[in-house]
């Protein structure tokens, strides 16, 4: 078995504890992906922290990203639990917390998700798509966006879609077609995990995502009648009309991404940044 794994020395970006972890060699043969994100759960390197390690195709560590969310609530399943039911906690066990943030992001912003499954993965495409739909407001659900691929023939993978999320069921993420941080997703998952009732958890996610979609729809309505608008002006109009105290630049970027991916690229491009305009003058 030794030739199928590569030993990687990994240090916790929070406390510095260092340990070797085994990474399947096949991961590094995916030259087309550049940097692969590997999720390191609590106890894999240190007992307190979980994080993402960025590894290039040569197997060299290129960087780390902390995950602040506390996952202490994720306890192993008891026998009494219904085996095949997929809830938020089970999903986090399957895909890792960062994998879940990425899947939620892909669902909201309409990126297809390709998941390379290992032999033991027992859930169907249909179930995953159904759960994915449950976190969106009802009127937006129904389209299939999650595809399961048979592993471990990673080398034969032929996904040309640059706009797709590509990951596996071993907590490796090969491609994310966005550059934004997963702060929104982290926030809503954190809130949802504070509730005990599993159905309520998904409903809360749906509500939080619905609020973002509502803001995006309102922004779309504003954009339809104008030629262009500056980001700060749009923020002001949205806050006033929807009676929201503060819309951050980060949130506006999410609204913009939503419009671009789900409604219209042309409308999204009407939102102008003052900085961008300034740079194009000089």
Query: Closer CB to Zn ion, residue 46 or residue 88?
Result: 46
Minimum separation from the CB atom of position 47 to Zn ion (A): 8
Q: Which chain residues interact with Zn ion by CB under 5 A?
A: 12, 14-15, 46, 49
Query: Closer CB to Zn ion, residue 12 or residue 148?
Result: 12
Could you tell me which of 121, 270, 250, 104 has the C-alpha nearest to residue 186? 104
Ramachandran angles phi, psi of 271, nearest 5°: -80, 115
Dist. CA 93–CA 183, nearest whole Å: 20
Query: Closer CB to Zn ion, residue 15 or residue 242?
Result: 15
Q: Hey, is 187 helix, strand or coil?
A: helix
Contact in structure between 36 and 54 (CB atoms under 8 Å):
yes
Minimum separation from the CB atom of position 39 to Zn ion (A): 14
Minimum separation from the CB atom of position 50 to Zn ion (A): 9
Count CA atoms within 13 Å of residue 235 on its CB side: 15
Contact in structure between 94 and 88 (CB atoms under 8 Å):
no
DSSP state of 154: G
Minimum separation from the CB atom of position 45 to Zn ion (A): 7
Per DSSP, which regions of 135-253 are E strands?
A: 146-150, 165-168, 172-175, 229-230
Query: Closer CB to Zn ion, residue 41 or residue 151?
Result: 41
Minimum separation from the CB atom of position 10 to Zn ion (A): 11
Query: Closer CB to Zn ion, residue 26 or residue 46?
Result: 46
Minimum separation from the CB atom of position 13 to Zn ion (A): 8
Query: Closer CB to Zn ion, residue 12 or residue 205?
Result: 12
The residue written with tokens 């916790």 in the block is 12
């Amino acid at each position: 078995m030794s030739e199928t794994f590569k030993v990687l020395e990994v240090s916790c970006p929070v406390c510095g504890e260092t340990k070797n972890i085994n990474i399947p060699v096949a991961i590094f043969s995916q030259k087309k992906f550049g940097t692969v994100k590997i999720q390191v759960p609590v106890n894999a390197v240190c007992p307190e922290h979980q994080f993402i390690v960025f590894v290039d195709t040569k197997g060299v560590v290129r960087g780390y990203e902390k995950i602040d969310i506390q996952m202490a609530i994720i306890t192993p399943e008891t026998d009494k639990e219904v085996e095949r039911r997929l809830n938020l906690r089970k999903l986090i066990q399957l895909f890792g917390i960062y994998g879940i943030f990425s899947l939620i992001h892909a669902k909201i912003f309409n990126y297809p998700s390709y998941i390379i499954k290992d032999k033991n993965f027992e859930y169907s495409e249909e179930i995953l798509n159904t759960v994915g739909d449950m976190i969106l407001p009802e009127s937006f659900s129904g389209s299939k966006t999650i595809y399961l691929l048979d592993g471990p023939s990673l080398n034969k993978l032929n996904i040309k879609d640059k706009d797709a999320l590509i990951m596996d069921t071993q907590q490796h993420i090969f491609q994310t077609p966005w550059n934004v941080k997963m702060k929104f997703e982290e926030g809503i998952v954190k809130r949802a995990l504070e509730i005990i009732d599993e159905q309520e958890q998904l409903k809360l996610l749906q509500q939080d995502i619905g609020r973002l979609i509502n803001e995006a729809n309102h922004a779309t309505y504003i954009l339809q009648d104008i030629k262009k608008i500056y980001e700060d002006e749009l923020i002001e109009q949205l806050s006033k009309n929807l009676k929201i105290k503060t819309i951050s630049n980060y949130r506006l970027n999410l609204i913009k991404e939503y419009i671009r991916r789900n409604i219209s690229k042309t409308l999204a491009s009407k939102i102008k940044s003052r900085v961008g305009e300034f740079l194009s003058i000089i």
